């Protein structure tokens, strides 16, 4: 069994890549894991690995992991081919945002997400593999794409 070193604050080290991951709720993991893997989920202590090249998506302090193949959704930041989801509630993809910027010089994705969150609400906690709102990630991606121009 792999022993994990804990960092200060709410993070732990991914046993696959050695990079600190952030906490996610058990409900997030449960909602995105394939049905045949649901029996492997226990309460508490899950972390999300943000390393793009790492196959592990979720891990626990005891060394258990759930790789990309165990999820029922594509994890956009870990994918190299389209479509790479970036907003799981409203269907925005990295490719769609990049194309809009290429064609118009700007992106309406963040504005669309904000408007729809107010109108429809969102389910980021159970739809986004990171278990949190995608808006910051979307805005960062838009900024990076705009800088490429």
Residues 6+ apart with CB under 8 A from 86: 76, 92, 93, 94, 97, 109, 134, 137, 138, 141
State the CATH number of the domain containing residue 103. 1.10.10.1100
Q: For the residues 72-93, what does the mean pLDDT come to?
A: 97
Say what the pTM is.
0.88
Report the pLDDT averaged over residues 25-30. Answer: 96
In a domain, 7, yes or no: no
Which residue segment(s) compose the domain that 32 sits in? 12-70
Does residue 3 lie in a domain region?
no
Q: What is the pLDDT of residues 109-121, one digit of tens each?
A: 999 999 999 999 9
**Residue 25: pLDDT over 70:** yes
Closest CA to 66 of 20, 25, 23, 14: 14
Confidence of residue 2 (pLDDT cuts 50, 70, 90): very low
Residues 143, 88, single domain; the answer is yes
- Cβ neighbours of 44 (radius 10 Å): 9
My answer on whether 89 and 59 are in the same domain is no
41-70: per-residue pLDDT in tens? Answer: 998 799 999 999 999 999 999 999 999 999
- Whether pLDDT at 72 is above 50: yes
Query: What is the percent of the chain with per-residue pLDDT over 90, rounded to a whole number?
Result: 91
Let me know: does 66 contact 55? Beta carbons within 8 Å: no
Better-predicted residue by pLDDT, 9 or 67: 67
> Tell me, what CATH number does 28's domain have?
2.20.25.270
Q: 130-149: per-residue pLDDT in tens?
A: 999 999 999 999 999 999 98
Whether residue 57 sits in one domain with residue 84: no
């Amino acid at each position: 069994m792999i022993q994990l070193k804990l960092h200060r604050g709410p993070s732990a080290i991914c046993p696959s890549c050695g990079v600190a991951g952030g906490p996610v709720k058990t409900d997030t993991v449960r909602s995105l894991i394939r049905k045949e893997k649901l029996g492997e989920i226990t309460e508490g202590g899950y972390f999300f690995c943000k390393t793009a090249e790492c196959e592990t998506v979720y891990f626990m302090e005891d060394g258990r992991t759930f790789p990309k193949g165990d999820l029922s959704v594509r994890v956009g930041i870990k994918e190299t081919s389209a479509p790479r989801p970036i907003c799981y509630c409203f269907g925005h993809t990295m490719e769609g945002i990049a194309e809009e910027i290429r064609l118009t010089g700007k992106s309406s994705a963040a504005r669309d997400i904000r408007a729809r969150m107010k109108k429809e609400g969102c389910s980021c906690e159970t739809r986004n593999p990171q278990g949190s709102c995608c808006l910051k990630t979307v805005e960062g991606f838009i900024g990076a794409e705009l800088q490429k121009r």
